[in-house]
């Protein structure tokens, strides 16, 4: 099957699966009345150096290993719903949840004692009847540096619909993540199979793998796996593994697009090798409990930023040989860069001034990623057609050359035969004489 047929099959299959999954999700995600109690929370921080601070909300700024954060959640007296569940998640902390001196739930103590990474954890805690009109206390002991800078939304759901916490937080991002996951998975399978028959689909494998890794990171980072009740212990380290792995296939994608004789081809390849080595080293150190993934966040951020700058400069520069694929890459970058800068600016503002408005503004990075991948897919298709056309031209030239060689060989053979006959006839005449 030709590469074009493989791509068509991939898009049709992915579209059918995406529609099917979205139908299941929207069927499961029925409208549910929940209560957002984030406005009822206050927080106190006991820093490792002994200093203390009080905040009138749950936005307390960045804390580090050894700091202890106490969230006080005052519930109203009105008993809003039966069988209620308090839902939230936290990061890199030993967590205890108390009510009226009773420990409702705890997590992370054993992992911290063994020196293991705690990562992100999700809580769905049954709210006791006595808690209404009282207080629920959440104690967080940070185990990494940096650990977190705020506490997630505190919402109360009917217990059977507690999973919708992760959908209601960012429904658009959830749908985009699912679409990316389906297209990445199907595209990877189809392009990998097509790669066996045609080398021009190599970049399809790189692009599909990048999309799949990004979608997996978003699922793990946003806790969306809870909607499908998937295993937490599998997804918790996966968030870091796929996050650190994303630059590798993305760099290889740009390496394959770049001219093999250009400096960009070599630069992208070397950077991809560095990213791969970084992933292997950090994974070994994490699972041997020498250093956890969080310890390398600064290095990972620098590596990702450097890779991103390389790809942006390559895509945005004007080139005399620039065809449609570079135009599409530029458009994708023109959309992605502002959304990325917007989200980075908001995060930076929140670190300096931890005001709720900076935390509650919607993120645009998901939309930017979606459009970037769409235009990258277009660039890949243009590059694919260019390579196919080059292969076809080369084949035509080879066939023409073979025909010329064959006809020349026949002529030479005929000439040689004619010369041989002439020589034999001359010898016969000379003999008779």
Tell me, what's the pLDDT at 327? 81
Tell me, what's the pLDDT at 426? 42
Instruction: List pLDDT tens digits, range 21-54.
Output: 665 555 555 556 788 888 888 999 999 999 999 9
Instruction: List pLDDT tens digits, range 118-173.
Output: 877 888 899 988 888 889 999 999 988 777 766 778 888 888 888 788 777 777 77
C-alpha closest to that of 279 among 246, 323, 317, 245: 245
3-state SS, the chain, equals: CCHHHHHHHHHHHHHHHHHHHHHHHHHHCCCCCCEECHHHEEEEEECCCCCEEEECCCCCCCECCCCEEEEEEECCCCCCCCCEEEEEEEECEEEEEEECCEEEEEECHHHHHCCCCCCEEEEEEECCHHHCCCEEEEEEEECCCCCECCCCCCEEEEHHHHHHHHHHCCHHHHHHHHHHHHHHHHHHHHHHHHHHHCHHHHHHHHHHHHHHHHHHHHHHHCCHHHHHCCCHHHHHHHHHHHHHHCHHHHHHHHHHHCCCCCHHHHHHHHHHHHHHHHHHHHHHHHHCCCCCHHHHHHHHHHHHHHHHHHHHHHHHCCCCCCCHHHHHHHHHHHHHHHHHHHHHHHHHHHHHCCCHHHHHCCCCHHHHHHHHHHHHHHHHHHHHHHHHHHHHHHHHHHHHHHHHHHHHHHHHHHHHHHHHHHHHHHHHHHHHC
Distances (CA, A) of 175 to 34, 180, 222, 330: 21, 9, 12, 26
C-alpha closest to that of 132 among 86, 92, 74: 74
User: Which residue did the predictor score with more confidence, 153 or 299?
Assistant: 299
Instruction: List pLDDT tens digits, range 181-221.
Output: 888 888 888 888 877 666 667 888 898 899 899 888 888 87
The DSSP bridge pattern shows strands 135-142 and 68-74 to be antiparallel
Residue 285 pLDDT level (bands cut at 50, 70, 90): very high
Phi, psi of 406 (to 5 degrees): -65, -45
Do the Cβ atoms of 238 and 232 come closer than 8 Å?
no
Tell me, what's the pLDDT at 202? 83
User: Which residue did the predictor score with more confidence, 429 or 320?
Assistant: 320
Contacts of 81 (CB under 8 A, 6+ apart): 33, 35, 156, 158
Instruction: List pLDDT tens digits, range 394-422.
Output: 666 666 666 666 665 555 555 555 555 44
Q: Which residues of 212-231 are buried (b: 16+ CB within 10 A; e: fewer)?
A: bbbbbbbbbebbbbbbeeee
Tell me, what's the pLDDT at 432? 46
Report the pLDDT averaged over residues 423-428: 46
Residue 247 pLDDT level (bands cut at 50, 70, 90): very high
pTM over 0.85? The answer is no
Tell me, what's the pLDDT at 266? 94
Structure tokens that stand for 6 in this block: 């493989």
Q: Is the pLDDT of residue 430 over 50?
A: no
Report the pLDDT averaged over residues 330-357: 74
Half-sphere exposure of 203 (CA within 13 A, CB side): 22
Q: Work out the burial of residue 180: count CB atoms within 10 Å of its CB; fewer than 13 is exposed, 13-18 middle, 19 or more buried.
A: buried
Give the chain's mean pLDDT: 79
Tell me, what's the pLDDT at 269? 95
The residues pairing with 35 across neighbouring beta strands, listed in sequence order, are 156
Tell me, what's the pLDDT at 346? 75
Instruction: List pLDDT tens digits, range 349-403.
Output: 766 666 666 666 777 878 888 888 888 888 888 877 777 777 666 666 666 666 6
Do the Cβ atoms of 344 and 364 come closer than 8 Å?
no
Tell me, what's the pLDDT at 340? 78
Structure tokens that stand for 131 in this block: 């808690």
Tell me, what's the pLDDT at 13? 61
Tell me, what's the pLDDT at 388? 72
Neighbours of 120 (CB within 10 A): 19
Percent of the chain with pLDDT over 70: 75
Q: Work out the burial of residue 29: count CB atoms within 10 Å of its CB; fewer than 13 is exposed, 13-18 middle, 19 or more buried.
A: middle
The residues pairing with 72 across neighbouring beta strands, listed in sequence order, are 42, 137
Residue 89 pLDDT level (bands cut at 50, 70, 90): confident
Alpha-carbon span 283 to 248, nearest angstrom: 15
Tell me, what's the pLDDT at 424? 46
Percent of the chain with pLDDT over 90: 19
The DSSP bridge pattern shows strands 93-99 and 102-107 to be antiparallel
Tell me, what's the pLDDT at 24? 57
Alpha-carbon span 116 to 109, nearest angstrom: 10
Q: Is the pLDDT of residue 276 over 90?
A: yes
User: Which residue did the predictor score with more confidence, 346 or 413?
Assistant: 346
């Amino acid at each position: 099957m030709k590469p074009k047929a493989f791509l068509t099959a991939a898009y049709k299959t992915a579209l059918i699966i995406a529609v099917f999954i979205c139908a299941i999700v929207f069927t499961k995600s029925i409208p549910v009345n929940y209560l957002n109690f984030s406005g009822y929370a206050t927080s106190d921080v006991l820093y490792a150096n002994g200093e203390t601070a009080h905040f009138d909300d749950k936005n307390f700024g960045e804390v580090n290993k050894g700091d202890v954060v106490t969230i006080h959640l005052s519930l109203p007296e009105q008993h809003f719903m039966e069988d209620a569940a308090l839902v939230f998640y936290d990061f890199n902390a030993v967590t205890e949840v108390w009510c009226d001196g009773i420990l409702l739930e705890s997590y992370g103590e054993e992992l911290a004692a063994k020196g293991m990474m705690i990562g992100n954890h999700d809580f769905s805690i049954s709210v006791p009847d006595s808690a209404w009109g009282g207080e629920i206390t959440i104690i967080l002991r940070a185990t990494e540096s940096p650990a977190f800078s705020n506490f997630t939304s505190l919402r109360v759901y009917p217990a059977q619909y507690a999973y919708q916490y992760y959908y209601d937080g960012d429904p658009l991002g959830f749908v985009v993540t699912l679409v990316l996951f389906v297209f990445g998975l199907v595209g990877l399978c189809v392009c990998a199979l097509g790669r066996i028959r045609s080398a021009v689909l190599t970049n399809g494998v790189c692009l599909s793998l990048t999309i799949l890794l990004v979608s997996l990171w978003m699922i793990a980072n946003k806790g969306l796996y809870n909607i499908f009740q998937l295993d937490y212990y599998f997804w918790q380290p996966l968030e870091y593994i796929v996050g650190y792995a994303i630059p590798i296939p993305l760099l290889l994608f740009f390496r394959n697009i770049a001219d093999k004789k250009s400096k960009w081809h070599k630069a992208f390849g070397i950077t991809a090798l560095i990213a791969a080595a970084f992933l292997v080293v950090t994974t070994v150190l994490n699972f041997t409990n020498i250093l956890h993934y969080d310890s390398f966040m600064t290095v990972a951020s620098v590596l990702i930023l450097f890779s991103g700058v390389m790809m942006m400069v390559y895509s945005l520069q004007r080139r005399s040989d620039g065809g449609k694929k570079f135009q599409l890459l530029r458009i994708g970058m023109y959309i992605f860069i502002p959304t990325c800068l917007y989200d980075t600016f908001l995060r930076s503002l929140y670190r300096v001034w931890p005001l709720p408005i900076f935390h509650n503004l919607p993120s645009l990075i998901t939309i930017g990623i979606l459009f970037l991948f769409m235009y990258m897919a277009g660039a890949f298709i243009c590059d694919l057609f260019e390579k196919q056309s080059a292969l076809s031209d080369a084949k035509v030239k080879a066939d023409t050359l073979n025909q010329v060689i064959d006809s020349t060989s026949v002529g030479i053979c005929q000439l040689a035969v004619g010369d041989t006959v002439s020589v034999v006839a001359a010898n016969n005449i000379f003999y008779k004489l």
